[in-house]
Amino acid sequence: MAQDDEDVGLALGLSLGSGGHRRQRESRDEAPSSAAASLLTLRLPAESGGQPQVVVKREVVRAEEEEYEYEYERALYSSSAAAADDDEGCNSRKKLRLSKEQSALLEDRFKEHSTLNPKQKVALAKQLNLRPRQVEVWFQNRRARTKLKQTEVDCELLKRCCETLTEENRRLHRELQQLRALTHSTAAGFFMATTLPVPAATLSICPSCERLATAAAAAGASPTAAADRTNKPTAPHLFSPFAKSAAC
């Protein structure tokens, strides 16, 4: 900002910040609209040559917003009821309850756009007879509520997904155990018939191809290596009905 503008702003006690920094400007006691209007009239003739259009527009909108805000405040606090109310506690946080009509219109606008540009904000505030700041806050809170709801929905979805996967995992484990049992009984039958020792070959999932494999094959086709791990007697000739698929 140019030094001239800063001086004018300071001289008028004007804070042009936003978000959390502009709260002061929006307190009841100030008359920001006139200050903003003064700033505009002071600034525009001097800078109309070099000032980009967008900045001028933005300031006009802000001036409109503040002007409306000021009018709103004046109307509100000139009424006797509001004045009496104000006397009671000028520092107490007044909590407004939006009417059904106001809420409905806000909801409608939110469905169209979850954010408002400054012009829309002022127009909507006028329409609702609220301060632009109130409309802004409502939209902020509404976005927060939407996000919270969505998070809850996502969380529920993930929970269900987790349960399904857990169940699927259990099922696969059971299936694997059955297959192992089947392999052992078949092999035992074979070796009993041939009087050969029962092989240590057990089934496992090959991590690379995700096919069923014998532990021995997965261990580099070394029957002894598999036997070492399981402490079971080694078979001289590995037998498995899945021998083909295990050779990955």
Partner DNA sequence: AAAAGAATGTAAGTTACCTCA
Partner DNA sequence: GATGAGGTAACTTACATTCTT
Residues lying near DNA in the complex (CB under 7 A): 1-2, 5-6, 9, 16-21, 23, 26, 50-52, 54-55, 58-59, 62, 92-98, 103, 115-116, 118, 133-134, 136-138, 140-145, 147
Residue 58 vs 232, nearer CB to DNA: 58
Residue 139 vs 238, nearer CB to DNA: 139
* Nearest-5° Cα angle at 61, 38 to 104: 135
Question: What's the token pair of residue 163?
Answer: 């349960």
Question: What's the token pair of residue 97?
Answer: 């309850």
The span from the CA of 84 to the CA of 66, in Å, is 25
Please name every residue paired with 213 in a beta bridge, in sequence order, or none if there are none: 204
- Per the CB < 8 A criterion, the answer to whether 70 and 34 are in contact is yes
Q: In the complex, what is the shortest distance from the CB of residue 80 to DNA, in angstroms, rounded to a whole number?
A: 19
- Per the CB < 8 A criterion, the answer to whether 196 and 236 are in contact is yes
Residue 48 vs 195, nearer CB to DNA: 48
Residue 143 vs 174, nearer CB to DNA: 143
Residue 25 vs 218, nearer CB to DNA: 25
Question: What's the token pair of residue 244?
Answer: 């083909």
Half-sphere exposure of 196 (CA within 13 A, CB side): 15
Question: What's the token pair of residue 44?
Answer: 């525009």
> End-to-end distance of the chain based on CA atoms, in angstroms?
70
Residue 53 vs 208, nearer CB to DNA: 53
Q: In the complex, what is the shortest distance from the CB of residue 206 to DNA, in angstroms, rounded to a whole number?
A: 42
Helix ranges (DSSP H) in 79-131:
80-88, 100-112, 118-128
Which CA distances in Å does 82 have to 23, 76, 210? 21, 6, 75
Residue 29 vs 210, nearer CB to DNA: 29
Q: In the complex, what is the shortest distance from the CB of residue 125 to DNA, in angstroms, rounded to a whole number?
A: 11
Q: In the complex, what is the shortest distance from the CB of residue 124 to DNA, in angstroms, rounded to a whole number?
A: 13
Who contacts 213 (Cβ-Cβ below 8 Å, separation ≥6)?
203, 204, 205, 206, 242, 245, 246, 248
Q: In the complex, what is the shortest distance from the CB of residue 9 to DNA, in angstroms, rounded to a whole number?
A: 7
Q: In the complex, what is the shortest distance from the CB of residue 63 to DNA, in angstroms, rounded to a whole number?
A: 10
Q: In the complex, what is the shortest distance from the CB of residue 131 to DNA, in angstroms, rounded to a whole number?
A: 8
